[in-house]
Each structure stands twice: as structure tokens, then as C-alpha cells.
A and B are shown apart, each in its own frame.
Chain A
Amino acid sequence: MHDSPGYKVIMQWLAGKGYKPFTFQTETWQCILNGKSGLVNAPTGTGKTFSVFLAGLIQFINSHPAAFQKKEKNGLQILWITPLRALAKDIGRAMEEVIDELEMKWKVGIRNGDTTISDRQKQKRQMPEILIITPESLQLLLAQKNYPSFFKDLKLLVADEWHELVGSKRGVQVELAVSRIIGTRNSNADVKANALCIWGISATIGNLDQAKEVLLAPLSIHEEKTVIVKAKLEKKIEIESILPDEIEKYPWAGHLGIKLAEKVLPIINASKTTIIFINTRGMSEMWYQKLLTIAPELAGAIALHHGSIEMELRTWVEDALHAGKLKVVVSTASLDLGVDFRPVETVVQVGSPKGVARFLQRAGRSGHSPDAISKIYFLPTHSLELIEAAALKNAVAENTIESRDPLFLCYDVLIQYMCTLAISDGFVPDEIFKEVKKTFCFSELTKDEWQEMLFFITLGGTALQQYNEYKKVEVEDGVYKIKSRRIAMRHRMHIGTIVSDPMLKVKFITGGYIGVIEEGFISRLEPGDAFTLAGKQLELVMIKDMTVIVRKSNVKRSIVPSWLGGRLPLSQSLGKKLRETLNEAGEQILEGIVSPNIELQVLQPLLDLQHTLSHIPASNELLIEQIETKDGFHLFVYPYEGRLVHEALAALLAFRISKITPITFSIAMNDYGFELLSDQPIPVDDSNVYEIFSSEHLVEDIQRSINATEMAKRRFRDIAVIGGLIFQGFPGEHKKARHLQSSAGLLFNVFSEYEPNNVLIRQSFQEVFTQQMEEQRLREMLNRIQHSKIVLTYPKRLTPFCFPIKVDSMRENLTSEKLEDRVRRMQQQLEKL
């Protein structure tokens, strides 16, 4: 490589800018030049883009050493897949800069939902050398006539931020697209001869090897022939908790955080730019307001960034961040990814980050110069979260990082993909089946299931039907095609639908777009009610044609919408660390061994009370508290496995207990534990508790508990949209579309009653088991519990541990104001005792 002309050109260019390549970069170049595929493991902001991109340039220069600056219209050379639209622009800009400085004639194209029709047409006529694309837009590319010709010159296919995609359905879209691109090349002998290298770029996750396997599976090459290049650039991270002056013995979520806002001001003042990460959009709106109230001088230097804010405004915030014009940005996960904002010196995490990897990623948003330390502050939203801070510190010290588990057999994505291919040139089932089988996601797909899906898209069901006018995919000489323009158009519109509660646009009555808001929230408001969005106080005027019309409001108190997103469960790794940290806390109380963690030291009063009333579980113990209040009989269990697993476990327990005696429960949970509440005593004691937590008949028992159906129903929502069952309508078809509206819940009921074996219904249940309940995790947990000591206590009143769960369960039915009053009263009553 070192003697190659391309290498020399690139090294010269780098030297001209005063750069020297990192070892992992030259290593990657070498691999690509050798025609290998693999994965680069490097954190953001370390030149990961160049590690792969420059290799593409070297390769090209090597092939055309004399004419590389003259050659144009070379066809698509590099396909760059990125999960975020916002990233495309920055990456494209960086690449164009290199190409310009090398005086090459390459073009960089961007393809996503924002690309104009004229640009798309241009790309269709002449593909740029580099195309930066989102997974959805890549699917759309496969929906174009004659798409195989796009990929005939392709040398390098890159999946950037692959860790973000690998555990998601968008990752499955990438897997399928890769399998098709390889398929189109294999069917053309000339093209096949040119090697295609496939590379993933990923931050550190627990299962890097598997992530690589998922991406490269369609290549069908031996694993030993692929590589992982690691960037071995360790970044120092410093974590500091923001401690409340007084520890509340009865903590509850969402309450303490905002009270500590004052303590954030000195941090903001001390650094150039600070990002404050908040878990939910609703809370971020509150923080923005609060900071402005307590520090009015921040006006103009503070901004808000979350997924419901208008794109243009978000872009402005990002640009201002780059330029160092902002002092502080309040953000949700929407700023997790993306290019570096160099001016950012400090990061504040409010509330649990739910996982170690996410926490590290956010910490990595600060301190960019090579030797800089990333500084992150942890601000608890209730005092128990301080234990989590201590656990995070331990996890970071021990380098414990979560895996991103790839998905299996997503029939909805496959159905969508089949229809996509049917729009463009049509597909021949045998050929595509072979390709699909090569992907990781569908490696276990059976011929029967494939047949079932072919029936589904052609006949609209399984068996022959009378009076059937079903029309979607038609078969012509063995080729599966969608011929109706209307259906084709509708399908294209649906690819890339981001699945969520239907979102409505919010506009001023005078015009001017503010952002989007969930239908479920706005439907609870009456005209005249005030709410907050994008940091503005707004008054609802009316809802018209999927648009919420508002005017400015001067009302002091407005409702902050709660969005459905952001309810990530606690990760398994962090849960484990949490249990270990509690062990430490227990030792501190029982044996007087003072923990080196400041968080545990300040929690002493709370831990004392918990110990007096009940127990602090060691890492090999499971604590169960049974408490009687005027609300009824409570059973609290603390497995620390995240809210989704708790939901499943609660349903399972409720079912098993109801087999002992007829009894009904209500269920509440948070990331630490869950509650069963009943109006009669709950028959759980030493004699049966291990049996109730047995992992035997796990799946059968869960299936019998009502919740599985309810959970599947919720899952079905996304699946129905992706699988094309839910029609959302499109501009100009408003009236006609009305007769095709139907809710996912209704469709779920109809399908489960009349076609319970439908693939999409099956998938809903499967997703509940594998993803939502995380059956594997549930099973591991039950096995762990079997081998641990179950400690049953009967506290006389509510304990500090159960209090947040109890409050969470009240939250749903009460407005925030009422809730606050009620909780305060409860706290006072309990502390008096």
C-alpha cells in the first residue's frame, strides 16, 4: 500500500493539513485495498469517517493514477448508509472538502426524505460517486425501475453508526438491501468480478463480533476472512453527581430533578458550552422554562433540541452549537448521535441514562481535543437514582457495556421489502428467497413461511376466498409485481414511516410552523387550554385537517405534553451493577463499611430508614415487601431488571398467584421493581415463593396471562404500519382515505378473531416475548432468583424503595398539580410516623 500512488496522494494531502493518520485508519485502508470486508470500532470524533472513506479514494486513485483528477461520471463508487438525516449533511460536507482539495471531479449526493425531486431525477440519470443515504431511502432506491444498474460500479458499501441500526428494524432494512445489492451484482458476470467491500462503523458495544456478522452475512464468506479494526483510543471520563442538600426519605421520580436546577447554573457558567440531556421531551420543555426563569441572562444563549421541534430550528441549534454561539442546550436523545460539537465542554445527564453505553456516548459529547477529559455530571430526578450514579461509576470503571441484539424474523419488514421490489422491476420468488435466507435476520425463515407471505401479498390471506377483490401484488409469468400506480404510490409513502402515535403539525393561527405533537395529547385538551412546545407557551385554538392551530399564550401555568418516546428500560448490565451497588449500600448500613462512593454516603438517612422498616437486599438476594394500606394489599418486588421485564414478570406472578386463589390485581412498575395491588390479602409466603418465581412453564404461563395479548396489541401498532395494514392517507386523497382508516387496535381484534395465525399477529406475540419481555432475560432472571435468597418482609408502612413505584402508579390518573399535592401529603404523613 505504501508505494501505491493513492496512498501517496492522500498522505501528502493529510500532511499538507498537518495531520497524521491514526494506526486504525491506515490499518483499515490496508484491509480495504486487500478487498476485505469488516467493521471499524471507533468512537465519534476520532476520524472514523476517514478510516473508510479515504480508502475508497486511495483505491480509485490507484486504479486511475494519471487521470484521477479528470475522470468524472464514474458511477456510484461508495454507498454510505447513515441512520440520521442530520448526519448526512455534515458527512457530505466533510467529504466534498477532501474531494475539492484533491481537485477531483467526484460528486457527493445525499438521499433522504428531504432530497428534492429534481435532485432525485438528476441522481437517477447520473449517480454521484458517493451517495449518502438513510436505510429508508435505500429501500426507496430499490423501488425504482432498473435499480440494479445503480450498483454495478459500486466498490464500497458502508454502514455508519451501525451500532445504532443493528438492533432495530431499520437495521433489518439495511440487511435486506445489502442482500439485494449483492444479488444484483452476482447476476451480472462482469460486475461480479469487481470486488465489493462492505464495512460497518460502530461505537463500542458488547457484541461487536455479532454486529459484524449481521452486516456481512449476505456476502457468505468465511468469518475468518473478515476483520474488526479497533481504534484503541481510550477517552478519560469523569463522572460527578450533583447532590441534593437534603435527602428525601420518600423519593419520587421527576420531582427532585427540577429542584436542583439552581445547582446546574455554576456548571453552565464555568464551561464554554454545556449540553443538558433529559430523558423525555416533556421534561426537556420544563427544564428549558425553568433555566430561563432562574437565569434570565441565558436568554439568547440557551436552546432546546428534541424530536418534536421543527427541523429547521433543530438545524439552527446544531449550527449554533458548532459555532460556539450557545451557552447551553437542553436536549433529549435527539443530540445523542451525530458529528461533534467541538465547543461542548460539559455534559449534564438528568435522570437515569438507562444504560452504560448511552451514558458513555453522552459523556463523549464533551471534551474533544485528543487528551481532553470528558466531564459528565449526573443529576438525579429522585434520591434513589444516586445509587444508579454510583452503579454507573462502577460500570464505567469496569468497562461493562451493553450489547445491541439483532432482530430475528421481522415479517413486517420482509413484507414491506417484497412489495418494494414488486414496485420496481418485480421479483422472482425463488431468487429473492435465496438472498433473504442469507441475511442474519431471516436465516431461519422456512419455505412455508415464505409461501405464506407470498399468499399474503397476492391473495390477502391464506386460503382461497370467495368474492375476493384483494389487490396488491400480481403475478405475471412468475414475476411478482405491483401494477396499480395508486398502490405503488401509497407503498412508497409508507416506507420510512417513523412509527409513533399519529403526529399533528402545530401552527400559529397567523401561519408559522412550530413543530409536531402527539394526537393522543392534544385530543385531551379543549380550545383555550394552554400547553408548551418548543419552549413556547401556546393556546389551543382548534384542530383542523391534521393541524393544530394555536396562538401565543400568556398563561403562567401550562400543560407540558408527555410524549410516548423516551421510555427506555434499564439495561441488563446496568441492572446488574445496580444490584451490586446496593450490596455495597447494605454493607455500609450493616457492617459500617463506608462506601467510597459519595452517593451512597449521602443516602445514609434513606438507607437507614429502608433498613429499619424492611431490608436492603444484597446482590444475591431478592427483596419482596408486603404492605397493607388503605388502598389494599401491596406486594412489592425489586429485581432491578427494567420496566419491561418487570411488566412481564408482574403479569406472570399475577397469573400464578391467581391460580392459588381467585384474585385480581392492578400492576405498577418502574425500572427498579414492580407492585401488585389487590383488595384482598396476597397469598405469597415462604412456603410458595420459590415456586411462584419458577422458570418452568414460563412461556405457557405468560401466554395465559391476559397481558400478553394487551402487549401484543401495542406491538401490533408498529407492525401493522410497517406491514402496510394501516393506511395513513396522503395529500389530495383526504376524502377517499377516510373510508380506509382503522386503528391498529381494531385491526388486531379482527385479525386475532378471524385469522389468529396471520404472520403479523404471530410476529406481535413473538416481539412481545423476545423484545419486550425479553424472554431470555426473564428466564435468566428467574434462574438467578431460584439460586438467590428471597427475603420477604412485612413493613408497617411504605418504604423508601417502594415509594417511587407507588407514586408512578398514581401518576396516570392525575394531573401533575394534583399529583404533587397528593404526594407531598403522603410524604409528610409517612415521615411523621
Chain B
Amino acid sequence: MQAPVLHKIHHQHFWLSAERAVFWQEQQTLILSDLHLGKSGHFRKAGIPVPQQVMKENMQRLLNLIQYFKPNKIIAVGDLFHSAENLELELFKKWRYDFEHIDFFLVKGNHDILKRKWYEEAEINLIDDRLIIDLFSFTHDQCDASEDLYSFCGHLHPGIVINGIGKQSLRFPCFYFTPTYCILPAFGKFTGLANIRHSKEDSVYAVVDKALIPIKG
């Protein structure tokens, strides 16, 4: 894994990982979005044989991040899960119990439709609207709602198109920082991309394989 890239907001240190997550140093918090856990299981249950390894690999990457940053808090800004309950989520629960010492916050996303009881059992603090810590707000899809706070959100699955010479173009997931909010890349690998259009005052980091590449506005 490439060493994390530092991005400062309000004098706070945010370390961006090419594994599609952000570590907030002052708060010892790992921030991520759109894991869509259980998506492969949901498809498989409906007779669509999506490889199960995609779920296992997502969990493995999460594990690696925890071992690397040793956070005491995790904030998922929505779509931690994909749909209704299935057996793959048991895998998550098991994993969760191995890391009981970490506080887990989930800002509810449109895909998080499990029963409240389930979140309680999995020791996840469910937040309906937004979570505010210090000068920062964490929401699923309402980046503009918090006037004075800097927002972290997800939902979009941002992607950036990089045009090469001679009409070649490639598309990558990305971290998208504007002066007032940040849209995180989808952590889950079984997710699509929506193209963003960025301007000069924005910072964009493309996730290219195992590395982050800053993109000029």
C-alpha cells in the first residue's frame, strides 16, 4: 500500500488512503463511505452469481486499514450495507465482534434498510441525519446543508475521467474535495462510478490501482 497522502482542512490532518478511506489524525477516526456490504450476497440470493470474493476482499481491506491506522472510531457516511439481511452480513458481524474496542458510527444512507435491532446487535451507532464533530459534519448525501461546517459525504461514488493525448480516456474512483465539502469514493469494489466535474479551487485525488494521484483542476 502506498503511504497515505495528507490533506489539511481547518488545520486538521486527514490522511487519504488508496484503499478508499480517510484517517482523521486528531480524532483517531477512520472515515469511509458506500461499502455496500452484502451486495454480492443479495445478487446471489436472486440467482445472479456475482463472485463472493468481492465481499471478502472488501472486508480484508477494511481489516488492513484498521491494522495500519489503529483507529478508535470508524464513521461510515452511509450505504454500509446494500439491502436486506443476508448471510454475508453475518460475516460482517463476526468481524465486528473482533474489533469491539472500536466505536462504529453509521450515518444512514438510502441503502441502509436493515432493522434497528440489527444495528444494535452489531454494535453500530446509527445516526439518522448527520453527525457533527468539531467543525465537521458527516452526512450521506447532503453536502451543502451544513453552512459553517465542513462536510464529509458519500452516496455519489465519484469518478474522474482523465483524458490522455489523442482521445484516450480512463476513469478512476476519486476523493473529491471542494472548499466546503468532500465526497468520498465508494469503498466497496462492486460499485459503479458517477463522473464529477471539478473546478480550480477543488482538489481531486484519483485512486489508480494502489496509489493516489492528485488531479489538477
Interface residues of A (CB under 8 A from B): 456, 460-461, 465-472, 484, 487, 490, 632, 664-666, 677-679, 724-725, 727, 739-740, 742-743, 745-747, 750-751, 753-755, 758, 809, 812-813
* Set of chain B residues within 8 Å of A665, measured between Cβ atoms: 166
* Set of chain B residues within 8 Å of A632, measured between Cβ atoms: 165-166
Give chain B nearest CB distance to A351 CB in angstroms. Answer: 25
Query: B168 is contacted by which of A456, A470, A666 (Cβ under 8 Å)?
Result: A666
Give chain B nearest CB distance to A794 CB in angstroms. Answer: 20
Contact with A along B72-106 (1 / 0, CB 8 A): 00000000001110111011000000000000000
Give chain A nearest CB distance to B199 CB in angstroms. Answer: 20
Q: Name 20 extra pairs, CB < 8 A, besides A461-B51, A751-B50.
A: A465-B52, A466-B52, A468-B87, A470-B44, A470-B47, A471-B47, A472-B49, A677-B166, A677-B167, A724-B47, A725-B50, A746-B190, A750-B50, A750-B51, A750-B190, A753-B54, A754-B51, A754-B54, A754-B57, A812-B167
A809 to B41, CA, bound (A): 43
A484 to B46, CA, bound (A): 10
Query: A468 is contacted by which of B44, B46, B84 (Cβ under 8 Å)?
Result: B44
B2 at the interface (CB under 8 A from A): no
B179 at the interface (CB under 8 A from A): no
B43 at the interface (CB under 8 A from A): yes
Task: Judge whether B88 and A467 touch: CB under 8 Å.
Answer: yes
Known: A664-B164, A666-B166. Is A467-B45 also a contact (CB below 8 A)? no
* Set of chain A residues within 8 Å of B214, measured between Cβ atoms: none
Give chain B nearest CB distance to A654 CB in angstroms. Answer: 10
B189 at the interface (CB under 8 A from A): yes
Task: Judge whether A809 and B49 touch: CB under 8 Å.
Answer: no
B67 at the interface (CB under 8 A from A): no
B13 at the interface (CB under 8 A from A): no
* Set of chain B residues within 8 Å of A758, measured between Cβ atoms: 51
Can you pick out 24 interface pairs between chain A and chain B where the beta carbons lie within 8 Å of each other? Answer: A461-B51, A467-B52, A467-B87, A468-B87, A469-B41, A471-B46, A471-B47, A487-B46, A487-B47, A664-B166, A678-B166, A725-B49, A739-B83, A739-B84, A739-B111, A742-B50, A743-B192, A746-B190, A750-B190, A753-B54, A754-B51, A755-B53, A809-B167, A813-B167
- A747's nearest neighbour on chain B, judged by CB, is B50
A665 to B164, CA, bound (A): 10
Query: A460 is contacted by which of B49, B86, B90, B190 (Cβ under 8 Å)?
Result: B49
Of residues 164 to 216 in B, which have CB atoms within 8 Å of A's CB atoms?
164-168, 189-192
- A756's nearest neighbour on chain B, judged by CB, is B51
Per the CB 8 Å criterion, the residue count for chain B at the interface is: 33
The 9 closest A-B pairs by CB, nearest first: A666-B166, A460-B49, A472-B47, A754-B51, A754-B53, A739-B83, A467-B87, A666-B167, A470-B44
A678 to B192, CA, bound (A): 31
- B164's nearest neighbour on chain A, judged by CB, is A664
B140 at the interface (CB under 8 A from A): no
Give chain B nearest CB distance to A197 CB in angstroms. Answer: 38
Task: Judge whether A740 and B42 touch: CB under 8 Å.
Answer: yes
Query: A755 is contacted by which of B51, B87, B189 (Cβ under 8 Å)?
Result: B51
* Set of chain B residues within 8 Å of A666, measured between Cβ atoms: 165-168
* Set of chain A residues within 8 Å of B84, measured between Cβ atoms: 739
- A461's nearest neighbour on chain B, judged by CB, is B49
* Set of chain A residues within 8 Å of B91, measured between Cβ atoms: 466-467
Contact with A along B39-72 (1 / 0, CB 8 A): 0011111111111111001000000000000000
A487 to B44, CA, bound (A): 12
A46 to B22, CA, bound (A): 73
* Set of chain B residues within 8 Å of A724, measured between Cβ atoms: 47-48
A461 to B41, CA, bound (A): 13
Give chain A nearest CB distance to B11 CB in angstroms. Answer: 39
* Set of chain A residues within 8 Å of B166, measured between Cβ atoms: 632, 664-666, 677-679
A751 to B190, CA, bound (A): 10
Give chain B nearest CB distance to A247 CB in angstroms. Answer: 30
A735 to B45, CA, bound (A): 17
- A465's nearest neighbour on chain B, judged by CB, is B52
A754 to B87, CA, bound (A): 20
Known: A664-B168, A666-B167. Is A739-B54 also a contact (CB below 8 A)? no
Known: A461-B51, A746-B190, A754-B57. Is A469-B44 also a contact (CB below 8 A)? yes
* Set of chain B residues within 8 Å of A487, measured between Cβ atoms: 46-47
Task: Judge whether B88 and A470 touch: CB under 8 Å.
Answer: no
Task: Judge whether B165 and A664 touch: CB under 8 Å.
Answer: yes
A727 to B46, CA, bound (A): 9
- B42's nearest neighbour on chain A, judged by CB, is A739
Give chain B nearest CB distance to A419 CB in angstroms. Answer: 9
A740 to B45, CA, bound (A): 10
* Set of chain A residues within 8 Å of B49, measured between Cβ atoms: 456, 460-461, 470, 472, 725
Task: Judge whether A679 and B46 touch: CB under 8 Å.
Answer: no
A511 to B101, CA, bound (A): 60
A603 to B192, CA, bound (A): 51
A469 to B111, CA, bound (A): 20
Give chain B nearest CB distance to A757 CB in angstroms. Answer: 11
A491 to B192, CA, bound (A): 25
- B82's nearest neighbour on chain A, judged by CB, is A739
* Set of chain B residues within 8 Å of A468, measured between Cβ atoms: 44, 52, 87
A487 to B48, CA, bound (A): 10
Task: Judge whether A746 and B52 touch: CB under 8 Å.
Answer: no
Task: Judge whether B48 and A727 touch: CB under 8 Å.
Answer: yes
* Set of chain B residues within 8 Å of A456, measured between Cβ atoms: 49
* Set of chain B residues within 8 Å of A753, measured between Cβ atoms: 54, 189
A204 to B47, CA, bound (A): 43
A753 to B192, CA, bound (A): 15
Known: A678-B166, A679-B165, A754-B57. Is A725-B48 also a contact (CB below 8 A)? yes
A484 to B47, CA, bound (A): 10
Give chain A nearest CB distance to B109 CB in angstroms. Answer: 12
Give chain B nearest CB distance to A753 CB in angstroms. Answer: 7
A460 to B52, CA, bound (A): 9
- B170's nearest neighbour on chain A, judged by CB, is A706
- A486's nearest neighbour on chain B, judged by CB, is B46
* Set of chain A residues within 8 Å of B54, measured between Cβ atoms: 750, 753-754
Give chain A nearest CB distance to B83 CB in angstroms. Answer: 4
Give chain A nearest CB distance to B140 CB in angstroms. Answer: 16
A424 to B214, CA, bound (A): 56
Query: A467 is contacted by which of B46, B57, B90 (Cβ under 8 Å)?
Result: B90
Known: A467-B87, A666-B168. Is A750-B47 also a contact (CB below 8 A)? no
- B83's nearest neighbour on chain A, judged by CB, is A739
Of residues 1 to 59 in B, which have CB atoms within 8 Å of A's CB atoms?
41-54, 57
Give chain B nearest CB distance to A570 CB in angstroms. Answer: 23
Give chain B nearest CB distance to A808 CB in angstroms. Answer: 12
A291 to B192, CA, bound (A): 44
* Set of chain A residues within 8 Å of B45, measured between Cβ atoms: 469-471
A469 to B168, CA, bound (A): 41
A294 to B51, CA, bound (A): 58
* Set of chain B residues within 8 Å of A745, measured between Cβ atoms: 192
Known: A664-B168, A750-B54. Is A742-B192 also a contact (CB below 8 A)? yes
* Set of chain A residues within 8 Å of B47, measured between Cβ atoms: 460, 470-472, 484, 487, 490, 724
